[in-house]
Amino acid sequence: MMDMDIPSPLPAAPVRFLDRLRGFIRMRGLAYKTEKTYLFWIKRFIRFHDRKHPETMGASEVEAFLSHLVLQANASVGTQRVALNALVFLYREFLGAPLENLNYEAARKPRKLPTVFSPEEAKAAIGNMKDEFRLIAMLIYGSGLRINEVLRLRVKDVDFGMQQLVVRSGKGNKDRVTLLPDSLIRPLTQQIESALLQHASDLAKGYGSVYLPTALSRKYPNASREPDWQYVFPATDFSVDPRSGIQRRHHMLDRTVQKNFRKAIRSAGIRKPANSHTFRHSFATRLLESGYDIRTIQKLLGHADIRTTEIYTHVVRKGGFGVRSPVDDGF
């Protein structure tokens, strides 16, 4: 399948080290995005040490690699932390050899403040979008979703009665609930109706089976053809599932949406380094400006750590924590 959020197939009895590691990660139930991230850093660690096998290495090699990321690769705090998490998982969980008392050069690079749209900029950018792209942008800006959380929405995840959206397996492989704005009920209803009409047409042609994670497909063998499990934003064309070989209609591609967003943002005359995530940053900032409790915002965004949410206090529209500048009082 063309999309990159479906796990690639593994041999029935993996022999290669990285295949065994992938299988172990999937047995633990970690998100596929986490799997790809861990494998990226573990392979980079192995290449850094001239392709030595991880079983022949230990704490000293991990320390050297983590220090290299800071001293030579100029890695940020977040980047070094992700690499550390991957290697800790490798040694503690997979190899059963915990890394004790690591001593390495810690990154001290300050976190960048998020780029945020003003209300006028957000409206201008969204105003340059049409059809599904416009609705996707409004869901990110209006509900605080990540772009892939929107694209992976299934019909059953939209609860019009409770006026909420259920995000399944979001960042950290956790589920959460966020709001469904009043103004999006009608367009989202129309989008779902359109998606289900497409699904009915696919069924009539002998298709209509949607991708489900392995565990779900075993538990609910007929669910892949049911309306509730269909994507709210289906792809225009079919693609082939690399694991099963089945031709299916997946959800819209991230890169397709991002390309449309970049064009709309440029057309609005916005010169900030903005993308789809800027709408999410702007959602959090608007809520802070409106006086909502930061822990409520944390839950809506799905942040595990309140400190991640607190960064938005630095970019509210009245900068400097809402302090009025003395120059604004006149002379």
Q: 221: closest CA among 230, 233, 231, 212?
A: 212
Q: Find the farthest-apart pair of alpha carbons in the chain and give their distance in angstroms, rounded.
A: 78
DSSP state of 314: G
Q: Is 280 a catalytic residue?
A: yes
Catalytic choice (32, 91, 211, 312) = 312
Catalytic choice (303, 317, 318, 324) = 303
Catalytic choice (171, 225, 243, 299) = 171
Q: Is 68 a catalytic residue?
A: no
Q: Is 318 a catalytic residue?
A: no
Answer positive or negative: Cα dihedral of 244, 248, 254, 255.
positive
Q: Is 277 a catalytic residue?
A: yes
**Distinct helix (H) and strand (E) counts, the chain:** 13, 5
Catalytic choice (250, 280, 281, 286) = 280
Catalytic choice (68, 81, 168, 277) = 277
Q: Is 146 a catalytic residue?
A: yes
Q: What is the full DSSP assignment across 118-150? A: -HHHHHHHHHT--HHHHHHHHHHHHH---HHHH
Catalytic choice (22, 146, 250, 281) = 146
* CA separation for the pair 238, 307 (Å, rounded): 42
* CA separation for the pair 288, 268 (Å, rounded): 25
* CA separation for the pair 105, 93 (Å, rounded): 24
Catalytic residues: 146, 171, 277, 280, 303, 312
